[in-house]
Structure 1
Amino acid sequence: MVGDVDTAVALGSGDVPVLATPRLLALAEAATVAALAGRLGGGQTSVGTRVEAEHRAASPVGARVTVEAELEEIDGKRLVFGFRAVDERGSVVGSGRVERVVVDRDRFLARLQ
């Protein structure tokens, strides 16, 4: 459900009270993370590395938007998902691709120190 905190106004990506593109991208990434839930090895996680998106339609506050992601390609540790966002009328709000890379969580975090 699109809330006031999800709008372009709230996120600083525009001045209209509709679903912000950055929020759409966050929803797409969340869908890819959910698609991987329980499927990675112990100690592994995935990190986003690339996003390609098309935000096709405005969604006002109160609109329900569903984002689904499907794993389309595996290239070693690189995973490529297609995503699609649809509103309650069945209209496509956005679509695109999200790439993630599988990493060892502890090693990844250690490199940040």
Structure 2
Amino acid sequence: MPHEPIPVSPGTHAELTHTVTDADTAAAVGSGDLPVLGTPRLLALAEAATVRALVGLVGADRTSVGTRVALEHLLATPVGGTVTVRAEVVYVDGRLVRFSIVAEDAARRLVGQGEVTRVIVDRERFLKRVPRD
């Protein structure tokens, strides 16, 4: 049974602000050895912002999954610093939703930018297709 189209259009957006902790550092997540925000954590924040933008729009029986990421991490953020990540829908094609990502520090300097693509999926059908060992 086909789903109704998702009510997502370019301009739909969300943001989140995060204070960097020791657990977020490159040293802690294995992406380097410096005590600054690690790129994998910046990516996780970017994805979290895209998920937040879709909350309440896809229906209880559907969710979104990340399928493609392009991210530039441009400025280091120390422990205690804050990063605000904004995700904005820039393209929708059926179940595919592409987001522009902008991350800034408290001084509004560009920390990172990029693009995240998500696809809307039926929860149950998706999980049935996950390979089992």
Q: Bin the TM-score by the shorter chain.
A: over 0.9
Q: How many residues align?
A: 113
Name 1:90's counterpart in structure 2.
Answer: 108
* Segments of 4+ moved more than 2 angstroms: none
1-structure distance, mates of 2:124, 2:25: 35
2-structure distance, mates of 1:41, 1:72: 21
Larger Rg: 2
Deviation at 1:41, TM superposition (A): 2.5
Deviation at 1:111, TM superposition (A): 1.1
Matched position secondary structure for 1:31:
helix
Which one-letter code corresponds to 2:24 in the other structure? D
Please list every run of 5 or more consecutive structure 2 residues that lacks an aligned counterpart in the other structure.
1-18
Please list every run of 5 or more consecutive structure 1 residues that lacks an aligned counterpart in the other structure.
none
> Deviations 1:30-51 (Å, cap 9, x if unpaired)?
0000000001123010000000
Name 1:42's counterpart in structure 2.
Answer: 60
Normalising to structure 1: TM-score of the pair?
0.98
Give the counterpart of 1:76 among 94, 101, 109.
94
Give the counterpart of 1:59 among 62, 65, 77.
77
Normalising to structure 2: TM-score of the pair?
0.83
Deviation at 1:75, TM superposition (A): 1.1
Which one-letter code corresponds to 2:117 in the other structure? E
> Deviations 1:7-52 (Å, cap 9, x if unpaired)?
0000000010000000000000000000000011230100000000
